[in-house]
Amino acid sequence: MARKSYDSTTGNAGETQQRGGAVLTTNHGIPFSDNQNSLRAGARGPTLLEDFLLREKIFHFDHERIPERIVHARGSAAHGVFTCTDPIPGLTRASLFAEKGKQTPVFVRFSTVAGGAGSVDTPRDVRGFAVKFYTDQGNWDLVGNNIPVFFIQDAIKFPDLVHSVKMEADRGYPQAASAHDTFWDFVSLMPESLHTVIWAMSDRAIPRSLRMMEGFGVHTFKFVNETGEASFVKFHWRPVLGMQSLIWDESAKLQGADNDYHRRDLFEAIAAGDFPEWDFAVQVFDQALADSLPYDVLDPTKIIPEEIVPLRVIGRMVLNRNPDNHFAENEQAAFLPSNIVPGIDFSDDPLLQGRLFSYLDTQKSRLGTTNFHQIPVNAPKCPYANMMRDGLMQTQVPKGRANYEPNSLDQAGEDPGPRASASGFVTAPQEVAGDKLRIRSETFGDHYSQPRMYWRSMTENEQAHIASAFVFELSKVGLGHVRERVVSHLRVIEEDLGQRVADGLGIALPEPASPFRAPLDLAPSDALSIQKNWHETLKGRKVGLLIAEGSDKAGIDKLTSAIEAEGGTVFTIAPKVGPLKLKGGTLTPDGQLAGSPSVLFDAVAMILMPDQAEKLARDSAAIGFVMDAFAHLKAIGHCKGSAVILARAGIEDGEGVGPWEDLPDMARRRYWAREAGVRDLA
Ligand code: HDD
């Protein structure tokens, strides 16, 4: 019989109650009768060791955390489906590309690289873009990034790279930032990193949304067809929404306004049925094409411009389901570049070769067991069977005696277990000969031509952002000789870049670095620029609408439906979050002004009565709302009444600033031409 006791959940004296549907039990199924009080000797006496309910609960809690990923610790993930749109059986026997319309489930995890699991979403950083295809021939993990090149050419340098960029070893900071001595010291001594560094200093490294990033497999891989013919292939993800990026000041302010900016954006879009989509494209080429290039296709610091090898779109990925549980799926997801399926093969890229070991190895320390493949998010969705047995946390119960192969148990009527099949994975035959050496091929020796090509492919604004990012980062570097050495490399990439960064830092131009190979003038590639490829659309864009008591409901409704009709969303903001009396009705705003700064939105609008606008014109949150929107080159729509706020902020009507009725059109873009007037860039 239940004893009378003080119920700490209701504050009443009464019997402990069971709430909710399912019965609360221990991990071994034993039902709880009281989840509020531990077992005591007397109402005010000591807790008893016997309390197995308390001990199991605390024991489990004490071990809730697992080691975070050494890199890419902070990630956001989603489930989805890949559909083959253009089958390529002539190129590969990979079953997922065999038929038009064939669907393959996927799990995707996007991540920042340097920060810890609890760090922010918008630092300047490369973003991970890891896709697990659960094919009917096993899992294929394409573990890529949103930047198509990598910092180093050989996996043996990876621990040095990561140590240098992570928080400094003695002081434990900075978190999630490359703007510090050790990173730039390393980079300045490793010119092979320059191509990736210039991408990382560009707007690619501050994406507006995970839904608006490109993804790349980075390395050259191989396709192998039914007859065993192999070709080289590079993999690309192209976001259907197009690429968009943040302004640096905006990304820094977002770190205060919303640590989870990207994670929330992804989760909310999927929850609202606004599913993010990417085209999947391949660049396929042969040895002759590879031989014709002035760089090595096995070098992961190089791209092949799509003007040279065009992209062929062969599929579409739609992310349509949020994880049910962050830990079980996102944290426990284990991606392995070594997970490859028949029809796809590795190249000899020395970075890729090293990765094939690293990821399998790291899962053992992160997930604690060789059986991490049994965790639901990692398990193949096709049947799998082998003779590997036992180990920590074995959750399967293999039957029979066949745990070795070959065996003849079938002759005794027993199940002999699985056998290798001729249709299984076959490595593409390749002649390999050479001396055993620790050496870097001379074909990997040009570190400046492609950064130069990247710089020359940018718009003026984009170049200014890159130069300013170098200035910002190097201004956080305390070691003068490191700053100078970086600038000495930038001069070789392009004299103008070196000069602008030196000027921005206020230092004399150092002597140029001496390259192993003199840089070439490769043709620029427009496909590399975000601004040149901007999709003028409201899809996926979010408007922050500032309203207050008495605002015109008809106007709010009209603006909202115009934005929503084109796939955008409107977030209403008011001085208070409670229900508002409007002219023509009531409305409960989505957010409060102080907690909803304009950095959270792609464009802003104000529909206010003159008296409320007057009041807000004395509130720094409202002034900051429009000032930031203006400085971040966003559209601002306003009513007559709200003009007083703009006047106080010193903003006049002009390109991208005008009546709210024009906002649906204005909100499709950023106003790059405004930038020179609001920011002193390098
Ligand atoms: Fe890596 C994680 C991408 C080079 C070693 N890497 C990791 C993730 C991504 C990448 C997206 C996160 C996976 C997830 O969401 O769980 N890494 C890359 C790319 C590279 C690259 C595109 C170059 C082309 N990585 C690289 C090298 C090594 C590693 C050269 C080691 C020799 N990477 C790891 C790791 C991680 C990892 C330490 C940490 C957690 C994990 O693997 O599962 O093993």
* 509 Cβ neighbours under 8 A, 6+ residues apart: 487, 491, 498, 499, 502
Q: Three-state DSSP class for 544? A: strand
Using most ligand atoms within 8 A of CB, pick from 358, 363, 364, 372 the residue to mutate for ligand 1.
Answer: 358
| Structure-block tokens of residue 488 | 């000495």
The alpha-helical segments, DSSP class H, found in 4-149 are 52-62
pLDDT number for residue 13: 54
Closest atom, ligand 1, to C-alpha of 111 = 15
Nearest CA to ligand 1 atom 30: 155
- Give me the catalytic one of 72, 236, 465, 638: 72
- Residue range 641-658: average pLDDT? 96
601 annotated to bind ligand: no
pTM over 0.90, yes/no: yes
Closest atom, ligand 1, to C-alpha of 362 = 44
Closest atom, ligand 1, to C-alpha of 217 = 22
Q: How far is the CA of 378 from the centre of ligand 1 (A)?
A: 16
CA–CA dist 240, 107 (Å, integer): 18
Q: How far is the CA of 144 from the centre of ligand 1 (A)?
A: 8
% the chain with pLDDT above 70 = 97
CA–CA dist 333, 369 (Å, integer): 13
Residue 564 phi, psi (nearest 5): -65, -35
Closest atom, ligand 1, to C-alpha of 71 = 39
| Ligand 1 pocket, residues with Cβ under 6 angstroms | 69-72, 75, 109, 111, 128, 130, 143-145, 150, 155, 158, 218-219, 300, 333-335, 351, 354-355, 358-359, 362
Residue 7 one-letter amino acid: D
Active site annotation includes 339: no
Q: How far is the CA of 326 from the centre of ligand 1 (A)?
A: 20
Is the pLDDT at 7 greater than 80? The verdict is no
Nearest CA to ligand 1 atom 44: 359
User: 583 near 550, Cβ under 8 Å?
Assistant: yes
Best CA proximity match to 396, nearest among 374, 376, 373: 374
Is the pLDDT at 136 greater than 60? The verdict is yes
% the chain with pLDDT above 90 = 97
Helix (H) or strand (E) holding 473: helix 460-475
- Residue range 160-187: average pLDDT? 98
158 annotated to bind ligand: yes
User: 69 near 318, Cβ under 8 Å?
Assistant: no
Q: Report pLDDT digits (tens) over 409-432.
A: 999 999 999 999 999 999 999 999
Q: How far is the CA of 362 from the centre of ligand 1 (A)?
A: 10
Q: How far is the CA of 91 from the centre of ligand 1 (A)?
A: 27
Active site annotation includes 145: yes
Question: Which residue, chain included where needed, has tokens 């005696």?
Answer: 401
* DSSP 8-state assignment for residue 294: S
- Residue range 580-602: average pLDDT? 97
Q: Three-state DSSP class for 430? A: coil
Question: Which residue, chain included where needed, has tokens 């993800």?
Answer: 237
| Structure-block tokens of residue 285 | 């080429």
User: 229 near 345, Cβ under 8 Å?
Assistant: no
User: 671 near 654, Cβ under 8 Å?
Assistant: no
Residue 394 one-letter amino acid: Q
Residue 380 one-letter amino acid: P
CA–CA dist 665, 537 (Å, integer): 9
109 annotated to bind ligand: yes
CA–CA dist 33, 40 (Å, integer): 15
Query: In terms of DSSP bridges, do strands 215-216 and 230-239 run parallel, antiparallel, or are they unpaired?
Result: antiparallel
Name all domains of the chain by residue range, CATH numbers in brackets: 1-64 (4.10.91.20), 75-188+207-374 (2.40.180.10), 453-532 (1.20.1370.20), 537-678 (3.40.50.880)
670 annotated to bind ligand: no
Q: Report pLDDT digits (tens) over 430-462.
A: 999 999 999 999 999 999 999 999 999 999 999
User: 317 near 208, Cβ under 8 Å?
Assistant: no
CA distances from 518 to 147, 366, 454 (A): 24, 44, 16
Is the pLDDT at 118 greater than 60? The verdict is yes
Length of the chain: 682
User: 543 near 514, Cβ under 8 Å?
Assistant: no
Nearest CA to ligand 1 atom 4: 355
User: 486 near 474, Cβ under 8 Å?
Assistant: yes
| Structure-block tokens of residue 249 | 């000041």
Q: How far is the CA of 337 from the centre of ligand 1 (A)?
A: 8
Residue 637 phi, psi (nearest 5): -105, 140
500 annotated to bind ligand: no
Q: Report pLDDT digits (tens) over 493-539.
A: 999 999 999 999 999 999 999 999 999 999 999 999 999 999 999 99
Q: How far is the CA of 359 from the centre of ligand 1 (A)?
A: 7
Is the pLDDT at 561 greater than 70? The verdict is yes
CA–CA dist 470, 484 (Å, integer): 12
pLDDT number for residue 6: 57
Is the pLDDT at 10 greater than 60? The verdict is no
134 annotated to bind ligand: no
Best CA proximity match to 225, nearest among 93, 419, 396: 93
Is the pLDDT at 66 greater than 80? The verdict is yes
Q: Three-state DSSP class for 108? A: strand
Nearest CA to ligand 1 atom 15: 109
- Give me the catalytic one of 79, 139, 145, 330: 145
